[in-house]
Amino acid sequence: MEVAETIEEIRRMVKTAHDEGRKIGLVPTMGALHIGHISLIEAAVKNCDFVIVSIFVNPTQFVPGEDFEKYPRPLEADLKICRQAGVDAVFAPLPEQMYPGENVTWVTVEKLTEPLCGQSRPEHFRGVTTVCAKLFNIIDPDAAYFGRKDAQQAIVIKRMVADLNMPLEIVVCPTVREPNGLAVSSRNQYLTAQQKKDAANIYKSLQTCRGMIDAGTTETHQIIAEMRKILQQIPSGQIEYVSIVDAETLESIDKISGKVLAAVAVKVGPARLIDNILVDAAK
Ligand code: AMP
Going by pLDDT thresholds of 50, 70 and 90, the confidence category of residue 218 is very high
Q: Helix, strand, or coil here: 227? A: helix
Counting from 1 in the atom list of ligand 1, the atom nearest the Cα of 145 is 10
Rounded to a whole number of angstroms, the CA Rg of the chain reads 19
Could you give the CA distance from residue 156 to residue 137 in angstroms, rounded to a whole number?
A: 17
Output b/e per residue, 219-254; b: 16+ Cβ within 10 A: ebeebbebbeebbeebebbebbebbbbebeebeebe
Catalytic residue from among 18, 34, 37, 221: 37
Cα(180)–Cα(199) distance, integer angstroms: 9
185 pocket-lining for ligand 1 (C-beta < 6 Å): yes
* Cα 266 to Cα 51, 60, 83, 189, distances in angstroms: 34, 22, 34, 16
- What are phi and psi for residue 131, nearest 5 degrees? -70, -35
What confidence category does residue 63 fall into, taking pLDDT thresholds of 50, 70 and 90? very high
Helix (H, G, I), strand (E, B) or coil at 247: coil
pTM: 0.98
Three-class secondary structure of residue 96 per DSSP: helix
Average confidence score pLDDT of the chain = 97
CA-to-CA dists, residue 229 to 1, 233, 258, angstroms: 48, 7, 25
Most ligand 1 atoms within 8 A of CB, residue of 75, 146, 186 to mutate: 146
pLDDT, one tens digit per residue, over 82-134 is 999 999 999 999 999 999 999 999 999 999 999 999 999 989 999 999 999 99
> Cα 101 from chain centroid?
26
Q: Which atom of ligand 1 lies nearest, measured to the CA of 185?
A: 16
Is residue 234's pLDDT more than 90?
A: yes
| Residue 95 Cα to ligand 1 middle (Å) | 20
For residue 275, is pLDDT > 80? yes
Half-sphere exposure in the Cβ direction for 59 (13 Å, CA): 12
Does the beta carbon of 170 sit less than 6 angstroms from any atom of ligand 1? no
Share of the chain above pLDDT 70, in %: 100
Whether residue 131 has its Cβ less than 6 Å from ligand 1: no
Q: Where are the beta strands (DSSP E) in 32-88?
A: 50-55
Model pLDDT for residues 166-217, shown as the tens digit of each residue: 999 999 999 999 999 999 999 999 999 999 999 999 999 999 999 999 999 9
Of 67, 53, 186, which is closest to residue 124 (Cα–Cα)?
A: 67
Q: Distance from the CA of 147 to the center of ligand 1, in angstroms?
A: 5
152 Cβ closer than 6 Å to some ligand 1 atom:
no
Spatial contact of 269 and 190, defined as CB atoms under 8 Å apart = yes
219 alpha carbon – ligand 1 mean position (Å): 31
Report the alpha-carbon distance of residue 50 to residue 156 in Å, rounded.
Answer: 25
Residues 125-151, mean pLDDT to the nearest whole number: 98
pLDDT band with cut points at 50, 70 and 90 for residue 142: very high
- The residue whose CA is least distant from atom 13 of ligand 1 is 147
Q: Where are the alpha helices (DSSP H) in 64-187?
A: 75-85, 95-98, 117-120, 124-139, 151-163
Ligand 1 pocket, 40 CB below 6 A? yes
Q: Is 37 a catalytic residue?
A: yes
Q: Are 153 and 121 in contact (CB under 8 A)?
A: no
Least Cα distance to 31 among 66, 80, 65 occurs for 80
pLDDT at position 35: 98
188 in contact with ligand 1, CB cutoff 6 A: no
Question: What would the pLDDT profile of 17-61 be if each residue is shown by its tens digit?
Answer: 999 999 999 999 999 999 999 999 999 999 999 999 999 999 999
The pLDDT assigned to 130 comes to 98
Residue 169 near residue 141, CB atoms below 8 Å: no
Tell me if 183 CB under 6 Å of ligand 1.
yes
